[in-house]
């Protein structure tokens, strides 16, 4: 196949950041007397856009504060937390990005803001692998809408059939598939039970996902 580009998700795919997102949400919810276990929260909200999560939490717990305000607070807490507790990389992330960058043009397509994503990327020296980085700030309609992927494709001047996306959640899968991009799903501990309908392949980790990609280009 004529694959020219790989489009990587960030949270849960390249970076094990779910715990930091959870801790940030706990700080937001604490003044309202709301608490969740990490497993319960991450299993429900893994991959869900921040503003949508905020709207769900506001309605469920009768919080007076606006969803937008809750989401802004969560984003600020995440930036502050990540400054002192950098999340770890997912297994084989650095290795796969190095291999992939030698064969393809790479783009990062994330639901995180630039303030959330770029410090982590810089910490691990990952920015050098990506031709473009598309964050929540760069688009008007986040995942599961296709805009993040269509925007990335326009920036690297590739058509959907020339790209493969690597995602970890149903939300990201829907976004990539709606953009016409075949997608390899690499579920993490919190997204493993989510719907995988539409995935071209399901891989247990990034190394196996890379094996799928090499098989695609050899066919």
pLDDT in tens, 181-208: 999 999 998 999 999 999 999 999 999 9
**Contact residues for 189 (Cβ-Cβ < 8 A; gap 6+):** none
**Per-residue pLDDT tens over the stretch 112-148:** 999 999 999 999 999 999 999 999 999 999 999 999 9
pLDDT at 36: 96
Dihedral class, residue 47 (left if φ above 0, else alpha if ψ from -120 to 50, else beta): left
The token pair at 83 is: 């400054």
3-state secondary structure (DSSP) of residue 35: coil
- Would you call 102 exposed, middle or buried from its count of C-beta atoms within 10 A (0-12, 13-18, 19+)? exposed
- Give residue 91's pLDDT: 95
The count of domains in the chain is 2
Domain end: 29, 63, 84, which one? 84
Statement to judge: residues 53 and 108 lie in one domain: no
Half-sphere exposure (CA, 13 Å, Cβ side) for 206?
25
Mean pLDDT, the chain, rounded, equals 95
Q: Are residues 119 and 199 in the same domain?
A: yes
Query: Do 114 and 186 lie in a common domain?
Result: yes
Confidence class of residue 83 from pLDDT cuts 50, 70 and 90?
Answer: confident
Select from 89, 99, 87 the least CA-distant residue to 209.
99
Same domain, 106 and 187: yes
Q: Is pLDDT at 47 greater than 90 in this prediction?
A: no
**Confidence at residue 191, expressed as pLDDT on a 0 to 100 scale:** 93
Kindly report the CATH number assigned to the domain that includes residue 102. Answer: 3.40.50.1000
pLDDT at 1: 63
Crossing angle, helix 67-84 and helix 114-123, to 10 degrees?
10
- Contacts of residue 212, defined as CB under 8 A and 6 or more positions apart, other chains included, come to 184, 200, 201, 203
**162 and 68 assigned to the same domain:** no
d(CA 181, CA 197): 14
- In the predicted structure, residue 218 carries a pLDDT above the cut 90: no
Going by the DSSP 8-state scheme, the letter that residue 210 receives in this structure is: H
* 11-40 per-position pLDDT tens digit: 999 999 988 999 999 999 999 999 999 999
Confidence of residue 165 (pLDDT cuts 50, 70, 90): very high
- Write out the DSSP string of 82-151: HHHSPPEEPTTHHHHHHHHHHHSEEEEE-SS-HHHHHHHHHHTT-GGG-SEEE-GGG-SS-TTSSHHHHH
Query: Residue 24 is part of which domain span?
Result: 18-84
The reported pLDDT for the residue numbered 215 is 87
């Amino acid at each position: 196949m004529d694959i020219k580009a790989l489009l990587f998700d960030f949270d849960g795919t390249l970076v094990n950041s779910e715990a930091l997102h959870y801790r940030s949400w706990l700080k937001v919810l604490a003044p309202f007397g709301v608490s969740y276990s990490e497993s319960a929260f991450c299993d429900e909200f893994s991959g869900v856009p921040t503003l949508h999560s905020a709207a769900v939490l506001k309605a469920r717990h009768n919080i007076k504060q606006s969803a937008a305000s809750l989401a802004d607070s969560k984003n600020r807490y995440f930036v502050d937390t990540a400054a002192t507790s950098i999340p770890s990389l997912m297994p084989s992330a650095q290795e796969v990005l190095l291999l992939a960058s030698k064969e393809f043009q790479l783009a990062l397509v994330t639901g995180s803001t630039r303030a959330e994503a770029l410090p982590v990327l810089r910490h691990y020296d990952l920015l050098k692998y990506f031709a473009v980085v598309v964050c929540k700030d760069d688009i008007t309609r986040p995942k599961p809408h296709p805009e993040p992927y269509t925007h990335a494709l326009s920036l690297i001047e590739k058509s959907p059939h020339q790209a493969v996306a690597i995602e970890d959640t149903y939300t990201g899968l829907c976004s990539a598939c709606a953009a016409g991009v075949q997608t390899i799903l690499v579920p993490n501990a919190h997204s493993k039970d989510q719907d995988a309908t539409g995935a071209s392949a399901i891989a247990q980790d990034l190394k196996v996902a890379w094996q799928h990609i090499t098989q695609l280009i050899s066919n």
